[in-house]
Amino acid sequence: MNTVKYNFDPSYGYSLDRLLAVKAPKQPQDFACFWQKRYQRALTVDPKPQIKIINADKPGWRVFAIAYTSTDNFPIRGWLLLPTSGVIKRGFIVGHGYGGRDEPDYHLPFKDAALLFPCFRGLALSARPPISSEPCWHVLHDIDRKDRYILGGCVEDLWLAVSAMLSLFPMLAGHLGYLGISFGGGIGALALACESRISKAHLNVPTFGHHPLRLRLATQGSAQSVQRFYCSHKKMTLKVLAYYDAALAAKRITVPMHCACATFDPYVAPPGQFAIYNALPGPKQLFILDAGHHNYPNQAQQEYELINELDAFFASLSQ
């Protein structure tokens, strides 16, 4: 892999065997209680979803703008895709990376599904002052307040996306899946620790795994921003981030999981990604990527193979 553009090694010298041996860090005593209380509170919120068609003839799909209300009365915007023909048998919530998203993922192979693409609070269509939509600042929003840190709100946005989906399509109860990449992968892990309404999920190069390690490994992007903040506020940062560790959350996920983890990644250190996968206690599958957040020669072939695996993995949701 070409490392010329980086002043560090994005594989961090970890062999695959060593990556598969990374364990989750120490857990705060009230970790489970902290998240369960938030989940139960989120379940009391009526998302009041509203949809408006914006494209009736996208090949294979009808495209809708969707809006719903999350916790703290936060307005969330996104897209909803419905198949142009056939019966809707399952639903998916699809989380985005830290760059947000400009449009839905039209390439997904789930042609019998309703696909909801929410933009997490402060990002893309859900941008709203005073939250910065720049990842390096967004990731620091209220990082000094355990109960107000922005990542917690984003987790709640995902829970309310599930509520919105079931409000629109109650017949899909028991037939919901989640897909999240990078930022959406880490948020997904945090959400799935409590979320019982999603039956299967896929996390692609998930972030926020094993914060004590992430803070020590050279990196780029939002993780570098957190590292800089940590240098001046070590004790407080570690205390708050302990509650937002996706590897700790993964220990509590019981539904079947599919993960795509990279052995080389300059933005989401591979040991953190594998800490999440390794911590999963239930049925799980692993797809190993040559790299994440970095173009590489075999990328198109691996993306093709991954899509085929996901098509098979989620097939049971239609039954």
**pLDDT per position as a tens digit, 23-40:** 999 999 999 999 999 999
End-to-end, the C-alpha distance of the chain in Å comes to 42
CA–CA distance, 230 with 217 (Å, rounded to integer): 13
CA–CA distance, 159 with 89 (Å, rounded to integer): 21
- Beta-carbon contacts of 300 under 8 Å, excluding residues fewer than 6 positions away, are none
Place of tokens 């294979």: 60
Residue 76's pLDDT is: 98
Residue 2's pLDDT is: 64
Burial class (CB in 10 A: 0-12, 13-18, 19+), 58: middle
Residue 82's pLDDT is: 97
Beta strands in 24-168 (DSSP E): 50-58, 61-69, 75-83, 90-95, 113-118
Answer whether 260's CB lies under 8 Å from 289's CB: yes
Structural domain boundaries of the chain? Answer: 16-313
Task: Report the top-level CATH class of 16-313.
Answer: alpha beta
**Running DSSP on this structure, what letter comes out for residue 225?**
H
H-helix segments, 21-109: 31-42
Cα dihedral across residues 41, 44, 48, 54: positive or negative = positive
Ranges in the chain, pLDDT < 50: none
Residue 265's pLDDT is: 97
How far lies 264's CA from each of 10, 11, 173, 205, in Å? Answer: 5, 4, 37, 10
pTM: 0.97
Rounded to a whole number of angstroms, the CA Rg of the chain reads 19
Residue 139's pLDDT is: 98
Residue 5's pLDDT is: 80
Answer whether 103's CB lies under 8 Å from 78's CB: no
Residue 1's pLDDT is: 66
Residue 3's pLDDT is: 61
